[in-house]
Amino acid sequence: MNAKVIVSGAIILFVGNMLSSLLGLSREVLLAAQYGTGMDMDSYLFANTIPAIILSFMSGIFSSGFIPLYIKHRVDYGAEKASLLYSNTINWMLLLLAVVAVNCYVFSPYLSELFAPNKEAQAQIMHLLWILIPTLFFFTLSYAQSMVLNSVNHFLLPALLTLFNNIVMIVFIVFLHNTLGIYSVAWGYLIGTVIQVLVQLPIMRKKKLRYRFYINWKDETIRRLLAMSIPIAGLVVIDQCTVLATRYFAANLAEGSASALNFANRIVMLPVSLFGTAIISSTFPSAVQMFSENKFKEYERLITTTVKSIVLVLVPVMVLCGAFAKYIIRALLERGAFDANATQMTSFAFILAAVGILLYPIRDFFVKLLISRNSMRTPILSSVLYAFVFIASCMLTVPHMAYKGIAISNAVALIVSFAFLVIRYKQLDRDIKIRVSLGFVSKIVSSSVIAAFAAITFQHECLPYLSKWLPSETVGTLLSLAIGLAVYAAIVKGWKIEEINFVYEKMLAKFRYNKKSSVSARSGG
């Protein structure tokens, strides 16, 4: 897979993720206006905890375990054998999910009791869980389809999947909120996952990625996938322990604590999905293929370029989000049931959660690379460290700081576990260097701080004089953020730093592909 395909895929994923993120943002605005940070929203979050944990396991299996095996199978044995592997894997996963779903229904009263502060909330959580359990099947199918399509260089439809889901959820919230209440959100999510599966079927047939009712336990690749699934399951369980811990600590706090933390994390994930996911999703299959073909120099260059691109794009976003947290939350969410108190709670959580804008995509990229090479120890140790630091910090801070303690604990745990993961990755791969210099990072960070200072200065000193010409405070906030990003872009481009120019060339390779060779020759890092 050449650089032109990678960048084309990244651009397609960026556009798709941008549309999906805009609709996702609209969905969050609607949820905030309709339910604020009250019991209904908390109940939905608690009900979705168990399905989210299971789906995290499934997505980990397919993205980090199945796809490397599938690509190798297609390279070694051809498309027909790869299709059989895909069908065999899907059928075994659906059987496993059937067993899990039955147990979830049987034990739903006890599962809902884990998070319910009272009997009314328990009944609501249980009924929401009943609606959400079938999403296990459709989300898994949809995710498997999108991973396989990405592996054959089809990026457009997978990038638009959450777009369809968000449209359905918004329609259900707008038109069925008055009759179904919070249950309209659950039904909208369920129908959205069904549509995600259906829309991918035609392109799957066109690409000759055929599904068959085929089950073969003797398939050696399935056994290898099972062996990989055990540590992946452990990794997911450890990661999701922090989700359970968050829900547990928040369930015993003031009403709305869980929702405030959730809204902050959801907004943080918008730039992560928009930029980080687009870059990683288009790069990861290529990295797997390069490594399997022993193209280590190309592999090293690709890893370096990916990390540089993420740092270049997401550091200024992270800094601006932290500086403008109150304005962003107020502009996006403060309406209807989402009052000034909810804005204050969510803004504090958002400031601390913003560190994840940079760390989440880089962490996930390294974890995927390690798992694809059957190196599970470091990701597991990193997750154990994250869970330990998070829970220990929550036990110390939550009794005194309430929801603020959870937000602080999450930020501290993320930073510590990320540092451990990067250090361990460098130790394990001494022959494959990540050529991202301290000078490069410091220049990006300093440029971002200057840009944030310029944006804040404009917000406080210039915007009051322009307010009478602006239709709303939201427009003023967007204008300030746009000025900050423009200042950042001007600084990093004006410095003409070789490393930054190299990243720009890579990101714009689709339009200047004829210069690729000369740019690559200067990519010493």
List pLDDT tens digits, range 18-40. 677 778 778 888 888 888 767 88
The alpha-helical segments, DSSP class H, found in 36-78 are 39-47, 49-60, 67-77
Taking the C-alpha atoms of residue 46 and residue 112, their distance in angstroms, rounded to an integer, is 8
Report helix, strand and coil shares of the chain as percent, to nearest 5: 85, 0, 15
User: Do 195 and 172 meet the contact criterion of CB atoms below 8 Å apart?
Assistant: no
Torsion on CA atoms 90, 94, 100, 103, rounded to nearest 10: 180
The residue-averaged pLDDT of 439-448 equals 90
List pLDDT tens digits, range 249-296. 877 787 778 888 888 988 898 888 777 877 787 788 788 778 877 788
**In terms of Cα–Cα distance, which of 162, 168, 165, 50 is closest to 110?**
50
Q: Higher pLDDT residue, 2 or 169?
A: 169
pLDDT category of residue 395 using cuts at 50, 70 and 90: very high
pLDDT of residue 510: 34
**In terms of Cα–Cα distance, which of 156, 153, 185, 152 is closest to 171?**
185
